[in-house]
Amino acid sequence: MAGTRSVDLYDTTLRDGTQRAGISLSVDDKLKVLARLDRLGMPYVEGGWPGSNPKDAEFFARARSRTRATSVLTCFGMTRRPRSACDDDAQLAALVEAGCEVACIVGKTWTLHVHEALRVPLDENVAMVAESVEWLRGRGLRVFFDAEHFFQGYADDPAYALSVVEAAAGAGAEVVVLCDTNGGTLPDEVERTVGAVVAGLPGRVAGHFHDDAGCGVANSLAAVRAGASQIQGCVNGYGERCGNADLLAVAANLQLKMGIQVLDDGRIGELTDVSRFVAEVCNLAPEAHRAYVGNFAFAHKGGLHVSAVVRTARAYEHIDPRVVGNDRHLLTSDLSGAATLRARAATLGLEIEDAQIGAALERLKHLEFEGYSFEAADGSLELLLHQAKGWRQGYFQPISFRAIVEEASNEPAEPSAEATVRIEVDGERVVAAAEGHGPVDSLYRALRVALRPTYPDIAAFHLTDYKVHILDPASATAAKVRVLIETSDATSSWMTVGVSTDIIEASWRALLDSLVVGLLRHDVQPVQSGNVPVAGAF
């Protein structure tokens, strides 16, 4: 039976998702997300509320002229105002003017809201719903009805809550959406309630769930089990308060676990890319531990886990990460065993002996005791493994560095930073200086000035992220800090780590390693005839 079920996904990232604190999308941003969701094959994408603000009105005006392959663009609104006619309601008119095929309108189903928020008789609320649906249908729109606070309303007065959705369906609503607006309903109650509505209501039933009780995805799956044929949600679980159900996790669970196909087979592998794309457009860091699509969703740290997953992936992975476009990550830390380092060495093409693995593991544990962390610092780990084989980099030898920040007390201009570095390259001492946006940037620029004549590949390296973590806050200004630096070239990126009680020195160590890793990955050979130890992190 499950294989023949049809369930539509309905994305409301561009409307409900933007109500998350910290998200503000321009019209261009919204058009980008719409285009990406269309490529994914999202059946319905809710673009916003055209009657509520000029930005959404502009979005719909521009979206009308753009072709889409799969996604039906929907607009959102509400029922007519109390004690007024639909013909006189500007928000209903805006839904028609938006030019969408589908309008999704919200109405009250909980007697508490009818009495306290709308302050109208119960039968007037039912009339508002039915007349609004009928009015929009009469103007050629398909209509979905969002039954707001339905689960609370049904729990308090099931007969009235049902009368509202029956009125919507009777007036021509194609889909009745049962909304857990407060996000506090649990899956067993969702399944019972949805099942009761499906059994008694002609037409299609959908679910819209928030995550205030941490059950948004579970409630969505429970609704499908009970007969819902559409699920609404947001990419990455964005939304007000604790967010909406994560529609990407819902899609993966329905298709991979419940046998209900919601995306083309070739598109399910784009979930990770869509997650990161939308996060980038929203100017939010991707959530590393988000189910299916997070960077650490398939990361293994404990030595026993790593040893097992290398031999048999399904021992600790519920799916192959490649199915959703993700990757496995073997994290290295003081909890790791030799299997982790051996697996990492294999990915680098390093043939390493057991004794060398043991020495590398002991070195790693010692460094992590000092404050280093190699979970994310794949570049620094790469150097540690090379060093375990007796390798010492011979590209350059750092001698000293100096960074100065000047701020004019009588000028509003930003402080200026200048750095000078002294290094030895091929037996020659090189001194270089550069200005930058702060001491770390100026140090990096000075290193590039000093090294690019000898190693032109460095021109392709760029700093892309910089993080500082205070390891012992109780020590105040004497605290030890850990710096993580991400560096990228045209095809890849790597992270390196430095630790010190001086934030500039910690940054300097991470910077040195970032250049060495880049040169290694570009297969650059040292110009020196001998190998000279580097005074970097290790």
Cβ(229)–Cβ(205) under 8 Å? yes
- 183's tokens: 């996000």
Q: Give the closest residue to 173 by CA, choosing from 152, 213, 211, 202.
A: 202
* pLDDT confidence of residue 215: 97
Cβ(376)–Cβ(514) under 8 Å? no
Q: Could you list the beta-strand ranges (E) of 130-246.
A: 142-148, 175-180, 204-209, 230-233
> Residue 170 is which amino acid?
G
* pLDDT confidence of residue 276: 83
Gap between the Cα atoms of 47 and 195, Å rounded: 29
DSSP assignment string, 269-302:
GGHHHHHHHHHHHTT----TT-TTTSTTTTEE-S
**147 exposure class (CB count in 10 Å sphere: 0-12, 13-18, 19+):** buried
pLDDT over 60 at 335, yes or no: no
pLDDT band at 333 (very low <50, low <70, confident <90, very high): low
- 24's tokens: 């503000």
pLDDT band at 160 (very low <50, low <70, confident <90, very high): very high
In the sheet that holds 493-500, the strands lie side by side as 462-470, 481-488, 493-500
Cβ(205)–Cβ(194) under 8 Å? yes
The count of other CB atoms within 10 Å of the CB of residue 200 is: 10
pLDDT band at 328 (very low <50, low <70, confident <90, very high): low
* pLDDT confidence of residue 114: 93
**Residue 46: strand pairing partners:** 74
Distances (CA, A) of 218 to 1, 10, 170, 204, 208: 20, 17, 30, 20, 12
Query: Tens of pLDDT along 258-310?
Result: 999 999 988 998 998 899 889 878 878 778 889 999 877 777 665 555 555 55
pLDDT band at 336 (very low <50, low <70, confident <90, very high): low
Q: Could you list the beta-strand ranges (E) of 385-460.
A: 397-406, 416-425, 428-436
Q: Tell me how many degrees the CA angle 400-404-407 measures, rounded to the nearest 5.
A: 175
Q: Give the closest residue to 292 by CA, choosing from 262, 247, 333.
A: 247
Distances (CA, A) of 451 to 117, 391, 513: 68, 21, 14
Phi, psi of 317 (to 5 degrees): -130, 125
Q: Give the closest residue to 16 by CA, choosing from 211, 257, 302, 198.
A: 211
Gap between the Cα atoms of 378 and 497, Å rounded: 9
For the chain, what is the radius of gyration of the CA atoms? 29
Cβ(85)–Cβ(72) under 8 Å? no
* pLDDT confidence of residue 2: 43
Distances (CA, A) of 314 to 270, 298, 462: 21, 11, 37
Cβ(146)–Cβ(104) under 8 Å? yes
* pLDDT confidence of residue 309: 56
Instruction: For residues 299-327, give the mean pLDDT.
Output: 68
- 255's tokens: 């298709």
pLDDT band at 419 (very low <50, low <70, confident <90, very high): very high
Query: Tens of pLDDT along 191-242?
Result: 999 999 999 998 999 999 999 999 999 999 999 999 999 999 999 999 999 9
Gap between the Cα atoms of 193 and 319, Å rounded: 31
116: three-class secondary structure by DSSP: helix
Name the more confident of 217 and 467. Answer: 217
Cβ(139)–Cβ(89) under 8 Å? no
Instruction: For residues 442-449, give the mean pLDDT.
Output: 94
- 287's tokens: 């959530």
The count of other CB atoms within 10 Å of the CB of residue 386 is: 21
DSSP state of 246: B
Query: Tens of pLDDT along 352-406?
Result: 777 877 777 777 777 777 777 776 678 888 888 888 888 888 899 999 999 998 8
* pLDDT confidence of residue 536: 45
Q: Write down all domains in the chain, each with its CATH number in brackets.
A: 2-281 (3.20.20.70), 299-370 (no CATH), 397-521 (3.30.160.270)
Residue in the structure block whose two tokens are 């592998």: 269
**Residue 142: strand pairing partners:** 102
* pLDDT confidence of residue 331: 58
User: What residues contact 219, with CB distance under 8 A and at least 6 apart?
Assistant: 180, 185, 186, 187, 190, 207, 209, 245
| Buried/exposed 489-515: b ≥16 CB within 10 Å, e otherwise | beeeebbbbbbbeebbbbbbbbbbbbb
Handedness of CA 446, 447, 448, 454 (dihedral sign): positive
Q: Tell me how many degrees the CA angle 470-462-350 measures, rounded to the nearest 5.
A: 85
pLDDT over 90 at 10, yes or no: yes
Name the more confident of 248 and 379. Answer: 248
Cβ(62)–Cβ(32) under 8 Å? no
Cβ(309)–Cβ(316) under 8 Å? yes
349: three-class secondary structure by DSSP: coil
Average pLDDT of the chain is: 87
Task: Count helices and strands (H / E) in the chain.
Answer: 17, 16
User: What residues contact 182, with CB distance under 8 A and at least 6 apart?
Assistant: 149, 152, 210, 212
Residue in the structure block whose two tokens are 């049902």: 162
Q: Give the closest residue to 403 by CA, choosing from 509, 534, 536, 505.
A: 505
* pLDDT confidence of residue 292: 92
> For the ranges 238-247, 325-334, 376-385, which has the lowest average pLDDT?
325-334
Gap between the Cα atoms of 324 and 12, Å rounded: 21
Phi, psi of 462 (to 5 degrees): -140, 135
